[in-house]
Amino acid sequence: MSYDLVVIGSGPGGYVCAIRAAQLGLKTAIVEKRQTFGGTCLNIGCIPSKALLYASEVYEEVAHGLGPLGVVVGKPKLDLPAMMKHKDETVGANVQGVAFLLKKNKVDTFFGAGSIPAAGKVEVTAGDGAKQVLETRNIVIATGSEVTPLPGVTIDEKIVVSSTGALELGKVPARLIVVGAGVIGLELGSVWRRLGAEVTVVEYLDRILPGMDVETVKQFQRLLEKQGFKFLLGSKVTKVETTKSAAKVTVEPAAGGEARTLDADVVLVAIGRRPYTQGLGLEALGVALERGQIVIDAQFASSLPGVYAIGDAVRGPMLAHKAEDEGVAVAEILAGQHGHVNYDVIPGVVYTNPEIASVGLTEEELKAKGIAYKSGKFPFTANGRARATRHTDGFVKVLADAATDRVLGVHILGFGAGELIGEACVLMEFGGSSEDLARTCHAHPTMSEAVKEAALAVEKRAIHI
């Protein structure tokens, strides 16, 4: 069977690429090694984690947050199996939705491990070992990423877990040690902390959330500590010893020094993710790789003609929405259009409570680049809607070019920050200024007014502070 395009991997990048290609008239197929579509994001990542984050937030609010609103309830009882059922139903609805969309757009689907024996060919190996070869003009690799292992530590998904196992725990651990203070560790740590776990985060660097705006992250860390998180920064895990029901974790200062041992019921290894490209046959074909990532040009083309790559398998942030945009762009390029991704306007969100959302450059990056800038900041404590809903933690910060006033970065710490960042993305996509944002009418009372006020503050003319 011959195709215009075969996509390997049905995560956010892959399935979006396949659908867009089919919309543009390309005869398209998609190959997926799981028995469900959606990749890591829908099955064991973004979607199930957000389901548990929301459920645990509701649990904590009922337990501790309703009294000041005049709502009196008894002590809530945790039904963890029901919470997990909510998570599983959410995942099921999403993966079924992707299956429907692929069928609707007439994308042929093949289940099995995909590999590339030669240019223009994709071999699909089913679970029972049966093989078939698809002929195609173009191939897009969208195989995503996998958990980065911690050297010397075995993940059994019971006592020592990855993000996958942390979404499937059968009971709330009394003591949870999280190795890595990145997005995944803090989000999943938040889930189990709300449900009753004592959470300690061990991070090799001297800060949490590396790469994000320092001022925003410092205030965020204080809020997490207030919630009960414990942080061991500038520290490294050198050994994890497990029994049937617990673990002993050896921690040493990153700069050297005396080791200490921590007891844990569960250890979550969350030190990052790495591209998943093994088994594709890339080395034999001479496809250029760099640190496990497929090297691509501005058109998403690899070094092998007819083979393209997107998402976590290539350079750039490992984010589902980045992969989606790349999937659309490469499909349009293959259809003779001009697909493009603006890598300067890709938001990042940490879905804790409060959330952090960021787009564009941080103050540290602006200083390193020697770009003169102005900063405007507005706290949610001065926002009427935030007061009414008791969501006053955090602030909005807008960074604008000192000469042109063009907005170069926006950083939000607060409730619903992931939703609020959207208008900053639209503004920056059109090259907007802080003046543009400041003169745009925002509904009152809304949390979004804090974004407008931060833009006003760039020129020191905020009204409500």
DSSP conformation letters of 259-313: -EEEEESEEEE-S-EEE--TTS-HHHHT--EETTEEP--TTSB-SSTTEEE-GGG
Q: Which residues are catalytic?
A: 444
- Cβ density class 177-194: b for 16+ within 10 Å, e for less: bbbbbbbbbbbbbbbbbb
Q: Which of 340-349's residues contact partners 24+ apart within 8 Å by CB, and which partners? A: 342/429, 343/316, 344/428, 345/425, 345/428, 345/429, 346/316, 346/317, 346/319, 346/321, 346/322, 347/321, 347/418, 347/421, 347/422, 347/424, 347/425, 348/183, 348/212, 348/317, 348/319, 349/417, 349/418, 349/421
Closest CA to 276 of 5, 88, 72, 14: 14
DSSP conformation letters of 190-238: HHHHHTT-EEEEEESSSSSSTTS-HHHHHHHHHHHHHHT-EEEESEEEE
Instruction: Read off the DSSP letter of residue 166.
Output: H
Helix (H, G, I), strand (E, B) or coil at 60: helix
Beta-strand pair 230-233/198-203: parallel
Cα distance between residue 10 and residue 254, in whole Å:
39
